Chain A
Amino acid sequence: MRAKTVDRIATAVIVCVAGFIILLLAALLGYLLVRGLGHISFDFLTSAPQALKAGGGIGPQLFNSVFLLVLTMIITVPLGIGAGIYMSEYAKDNKLTAFIRLIVEVLSSFPSIVIGLFGLLVIVNTFGFGYSLLSGALALTIFNLPMMVRLTEQSLRSVPKEQKEAGLALGLSRWKTITSVMIPVALPSIVTGSILAAGRVFGEAAALLFTAGMSSPRLDFSNWNPLSPTSPLNPMRPAETLAVHIWKINSEGLAPDAPEIAAGASAVLVIMVLLFNLGARWLGRVVYRKLTASK
């Protein structure tokens, strides 16, 4: 009887905790959406912001966020997967690898504002990349790489030994076994890791203040030459992202409708993260099915 009572109490406590977390999340999401959704319109999503007048949009910021995400992932994913493969399959178990692993751990818990300052000193000033999308992408790479490496390493390690041996026993080289047997099996976890990394790119503001900058030049969306300074595709131009924009409007916005813009932009940001998550999961499933089950 006593064990049963304890079990009941424990279950009740756990259910309460879980319920509390869900409630908190729902409240937060509901608050953001209720306040912001009313402000979202096609015009809001596409027009440029206004400094002093009401009615400004978030078009360039939205584009910047997506573009910065793409740039960052182009740099982070290959580096992260490569390093993860090395750590799980090639690195010998010695003091050096243990040290590298420690560094990766430390790096993954670095405060993002410190990475922002590092980016300002090294990437923006010393390398001379200036306030630019590329600087921002590099800073976010530093921010995200440790997680990418660790997740890839863990997902490769969790591939059953039997699968790896099956590949090796067929006379495949180690590299071919990794790329054609192990990576497909590990893919779902690698995709999940990339989604987590991408979510952090969308939401990050501190690391970008000093690297991608807080302004966006006038963009000409009909100019797709990546070398032109007014082209949205130019990676060397400063670019204020949505998260940075929200921070700026809230702290120093002069437009009379600044609170509404901030609310609308926050809702857009949350929806973007959600859409991206769902999209990436769907893509991961499709790719996994292509690589594994029948065509």
Chain B
Amino acid sequence: MIIEIDKLQLYYTDFHALKNVNLSIPERSVTAFIGPSGCGKSTLLRTLNRMNDTIPGVRIEGKVDIQGRDIYSSDMEVEFLRKKVGMVFQQPNPFPKSIYDNVAYGPRLHGISKKSELDAIVEKSLRSASLWNEVKDVLKKSAWSLSGGQQQRLCIARALAVEPEILLMDESTSALDPISTTKIEELTRELCQNYTIVMVTHNMHQAARISDRTVFFLNGEVVEASDTQSLFSNPVDQRTEDYISGRFG
């Protein structure tokens, strides 16, 4: 288990957003968080790379271990954590720079300056994000000239370039067209051979299609967590069954 969450409580000032979450996430697999809006799935995702730190009024109790280290302990450097735990957002958000510079951005700021080394990282990352063949001749062009789906794959490449172990995807296909969505889904399946992927999705079918394990959230609680097939075919909890059969949310 690469991620172990133990009795996690999270409050936004007065609002109790995550209630006693216990969860383990296995290495090199795709785990999907599903549930209606406001159920806490994105909040939990953002505790895994401590992006919630930037929101004032957040209070956390309990423990989150990643690779055996408590990420909320005082000796954890948040920059180091975020290198290990990359993130892809809902809206494609490439920097207003060239395609090459977007991917080389992280490695450069983390101290790699040799051109040949950067070239290699850029190519490898773009290949892993299955974008290389589309952009290899236009690496100097602005990233904003790409289509939405390409931009999102560029963001994946940018995240991969700093060599993370875990990749968080926060509804990363919800702003994309169906063809781009399919591409990202296929990519997700490929990437999980080398990376641990945790994704939040609004789309139950997407979770059923590409995840190995699915976690169902409701009102800040984990209702059910199991392997995807049994969660969708044989839900244990009545609320899970109601949700996946479309009775609410």
List the interface of chain A (C-beta within 8 A of B). 92-93, 160, 162-163, 165-166, 168-173, 176, 180-181, 184-185, 291-295
Q: How many residues of B contact A (CB 8 A)?
A: 32
* CB-based contact A165/B89 at 8 Å: yes
* CB-based contact A173/B141 at 8 Å: no
Q: A170-B105, A180-B109 are in contact. Are A163 and B54 (CB under 8 A)?
A: no
Q: Given the complex, which residues of A lie within 8 Å of B109, measured CB to CB?
A: 170, 172, 176, 180
Q: Given the complex, which residues of A lie within 8 Å of B79, measured CB to CB?
A: 171-173
List the interface of chain B (C-beta within 8 A of A). 49, 51, 54, 56, 79-83, 86-87, 89, 91, 93-98, 100-101, 105-106, 109-110, 140-142, 155, 158-159, 162
User: A163 vs B144: C-alpha distance in the bound complex, in angstroms?
Assistant: 13
Smallest CB separation, A55 vs chain B (Å): 54
With both beta carbons as reference points, the residue of chain B lying nearest to A291 in the complex is identified as B97
Smallest CB separation, A209 vs chain B (Å): 45
User: A291 vs B79: C-alpha distance in the bound complex, in angstroms?
Assistant: 24
User: A171 vs B80: C-alpha distance in the bound complex, in angstroms?
Assistant: 6
Q: Given the complex, which residues of A lie within 8 Å of B94, measured CB to CB?
A: 166
- Choose one: B51, B81, B97, B158; the contact of A165 (CB below 8 Å): B51
Q: Given the complex, which residues of A lie within 8 Å of B82, measured CB to CB?
A: 168-171
Smallest CB separation, A93 vs chain B (Å): 7
- Choose one: B54, B89, B101, B142; the contact of A166 (CB below 8 Å): B89
* CB-based contact B95/A166 at 8 Å: yes
Query: 9 A-B pairs, CB-CB below 8 angstroms?
Result: A165-B93, A166-B158, A170-B109, A171-B79, A171-B80, A171-B81, A172-B106, A293-B98, A294-B142
Q: A170-B158, A171-B110, A295-B140 are in contact. Are A93 and B56 (CB under 8 A)?
A: yes
- Given A170-B109, A294-B101, 8 other A-B contacts at CB below 8 A? A163-B95, A165-B89, A166-B89, A166-B95, A166-B158, A169-B87, A176-B109, A292-B96
With both beta carbons as reference points, the residue of chain A lying nearest to B80 in the complex is identified as A171
* CB-based contact A181/B98 at 8 Å: no
With both beta carbons as reference points, the residue of chain B lying nearest to A184 in the complex is identified as B96
Q: A163-B95, A292-B96, A293-B97 are in contact. Are A170 and B89 (CB under 8 A)?
A: no
With both beta carbons as reference points, the residue of chain A lying nearest to B142 in the complex is identified as A293
- Among A168, A176, A291, the most chain B Cβ lie within 10 Å of the Cβ of A168
With both beta carbons as reference points, the residue of chain B lying nearest to A181 in the complex is identified as B95
With both beta carbons as reference points, the residue of chain A lying nearest to B88 in the complex is identified as A169
User: A181 vs B82: C-alpha distance in the bound complex, in angstroms?
Assistant: 16
Q: Given the complex, which residues of B lie within 8 Å of A162, measured CB to CB?
A: 89, 91, 93
User: A105 vs B20: C-alpha distance in the bound complex, in angstroms?
Assistant: 46
Q: Given the complex, which residues of B lie within 8 Å of A172, measured CB to CB?
A: 79, 106, 109
User: A172 vs B86: C-alpha distance in the bound complex, in angstroms?
Assistant: 12
Smallest CB separation, A246 vs chain B (Å): 43
User: A92 vs B109: C-alpha distance in the bound complex, in angstroms?
Assistant: 27
* CB-based contact A294/B83 at 8 Å: no
Smallest CB separation, B245 vs chain A (Å): 35
Smallest CB separation, B128 vs chain A (Å): 16
* CB-based contact A168/B97 at 8 Å: no
Q: Given the complex, which residues of B lie within 8 Å of A93, measured CB to CB?
A: 56
User: A171 vs B108: C-alpha distance in the bound complex, in angstroms?
Assistant: 12
